[in-house]
Structures are given as structure tokens and as C-alpha cells.
């Protein structure tokens, strides 16, 4: 897989390896689809990014988001416990 460069659009939300030029060991970063990969303050445009694995943002995962009707039901139940 060809690594991405600073300024490229992030193709998939997930964990990427950021590889720097000489000053730092590769490390993992989280990037969001549609945003742009940043340049490094020290090595500038020489940084490269490689996708390790895609990941879903927790606030977009179906098991962790609440529908508005669920929230209203929980809020009403909490209010009735408070008043009771």
C-alpha cells in the first residue's frame, strides 16, 4: 500500500502509522475520513501515513448512540424518580 503524504485527504477513519524523517520513531495516530493529513512541525512534508486498520468513531457506532426517543424515555424516567 502506498503511504499517504501531508495534505492528502484521509480515505478512511482509522488508526494510521505516522513515519517521520529521522527525528522520531513511527507511532500510531487516529485520523478521520475526509480530513487532511497534517505536516510535522519538525520534518514538514516528509512524514508518511499508512493505514493500520479502519475504526469507527464511538459516537457513530450503533451500539453507543442513542435515538432521541430512547433519550426522552430515560429522561422522563429519571425525572419521575427524582420527584417521587
Q: What is the pLDDT along the chain (84 residues), one digit of tens a residue?
A: 789 999 999 999 999 999 999 999 999 999 999 999 999 999 999 999 999 999 988 888 889 887 645 555 555 555 566 665
What is the model's pTM?
A: 0.72
Distance from C-alpha of 69 to C-alpha of 75, rounded to nearest angstrom: 10
Distances (CA, A) of 3 to 33, 52, 73: 15, 11, 47
Amino acid at each position: 500500500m502506498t503511504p499517504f503524504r501531508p495534505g492528502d485527504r484521509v480515505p478512511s477513519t482509522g488508526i494510521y502509522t505516522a513515519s517521520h524523517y529521522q527525528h522520531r520513531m513511527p507511532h500510531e495516530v487516529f485520523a478521520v475520513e475526509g480530513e487532511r493529513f497534517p505536516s510535522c512541525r519538525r520534518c514538514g512534508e516528509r512524514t508518511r501515513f499508512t493505514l493500520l486498520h479502519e475504526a469507527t468513531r464511538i459516537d457513530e457506532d450503533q451500539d453507543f448512540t442513542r435515538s432521541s426517543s430512547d433519550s426522552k424515555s430515560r429522561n422522563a424516567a429519571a425525572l419521575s424518580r427524582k420527584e417521587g
